[in-house]
Chain A
């Protein structure tokens, strides 16, 4: 899900950068003293999650953990994902520094949206919570894939082809992330409900 350097046009890079700056500013404000460790733990999780490759689908996909980031962190998923992507760009050569803004937006915005969408159900117990957690994990990847296809289209690749490539490649990830988000949320709500506040 990392777009490489040199694929996108400058206006899109700029737009992604602006969105990321705004999201990060709001996110940083929302981090209080007690949340710092939570944010950094999830940043570390996100940072290494992309090394797990899913050997399914036509291309090249890995775990993203967007849903989990959104559910646990809310707005602070922006700074968390920004830092993790920056380090991935430096250490793993995923994406790049110029496309950092766009890549952050592609992953953080859907994470935030899907967590807001399922917020009320996440606080319940039982089946509704399970559905909400799975939905958040699933939807965040789906939206990310669509957003990525849109960004690629605005640059030059035809939308249908880009959307097909990206969305089809991420179907297995959507399901796996949904399941992982569901299990982690269930576990956290039992062991440490304050993480989900």
Chain B
């Protein structure tokens, strides 16, 4: 009995270890993350195996009073986007539901107003060189004469900054998402065997008392 028990334990443990190193150690759940880009919220929903969660419902709630602000759907590649809802909302909660019991939510803090009032220091006029550098982003209408008017310059900076920040925000959102690590797996197995030890001890004490 003892020898065969050990054999079985070895088999189970090797299976467990195989699982640990199986390539797709992601959580079994719907993954969702969203980030802000200018006055748009972009988001992505996927299954853990990397497959896109196609055409599933997305609900957007105000996180303080849980009122539903708008609904949308993911596209063929699991992406969705919507413009910032009207009104004053400090935090949005985005909920996706795939209809088969999986659901995920994501909270997003809104970064204040999208175009803040001009607060540029009143310094020397902008050199013409910078104009040509950022000309690709600049709509023609805001170039007036030789200089820039302060308000449109701020707006321009805002939009181009938002564009550059988009991918960074996306990466941050991806990092925030919790992933299963080897430590999680091993500590879970450790807990199970610890419980087995505890149960053995309890039964043992009972036997001794009897």
Contacts and interface: CB of A to CB of B under 8 A. Distances in A.
B70 interface: no
B163 to A, nearest CB: 33
Nearest to A5: B103
B49 A44 contact: no
Interface string B1-45: 100110111001101100110101111111000000000000000
A191 B1 CA distance: 11
Interface residues of A, number: 52
Contacts of B9: 37, 41
B82 interface: no
Interface string B38-74: 0000000001110100000000000000000000000
Given A92-B180, A93-B178, A161-B99, A62 B5 contact: no
A110 to B, nearest CB: 15
Interface string B126-169: 00000000000000000000000000000000000000000000
A39 B19 CA distance: 19
A3 B103 CA distance: 8
Given A41-B12, A51-B22, A91-B188, A4 B49 contact: no
Contacts of B48: 53, 60
Interface in B91-118: 97-105
Candidate in A37, A60, A169 with the most chain B CB atoms within 10 angstroms: A60
Contacts of A45: 12, 15-16
Contacts, number: 145
B185 interface: yes
Contact of A191 (B4, B24, B101, B207): B4
Interface stretch (A18-26, A81-89, A120-128, A129-137): A81-89
Interface in A38-53: 38-45, 47-53
Interface in A156-179: 157, 161-162, 165-166, 169
A81 to B, nearest CB: 12
Nearest to B54: A58
B44 to A, nearest CB: 15
A7 B192 contact: no
Nearest to B189: A44
Nearest to A84: B192
B199 A192 contact: no
A55 interface: yes
Given A40-B192, A92-B180, A4 B19 contact: no
B195 interface: yes
Contacts of A191: 4, 7-8
B76 interface: no
Nearest to A47: B188
Contact of B103 (A6, A32, A44): A6
B192 A43 contact: yes
Interface string A14-34: 000000000000000001110
Given A37-B5, A40-B196, A48-B16, 17 more contacts: A2-B29, A7-B97, A37-B196, A41-B8, A42-B12, A48-B189, A53-B28, A60-B49, A91-B184, A148-B101, A151-B101, A162-B99, A165-B100, A169-B100, A188-B8, A191-B7, A192-B4
18 contacts: A4-B30, A33-B207, A44-B12, A47-B192, A48-B15, A48-B189, A52-B22, A53-B26, A53-B28, A59-B100, A60-B47, A60-B49, A87-B191, A87-B192, A91-B188, A92-B27, A93-B27, A165-B99
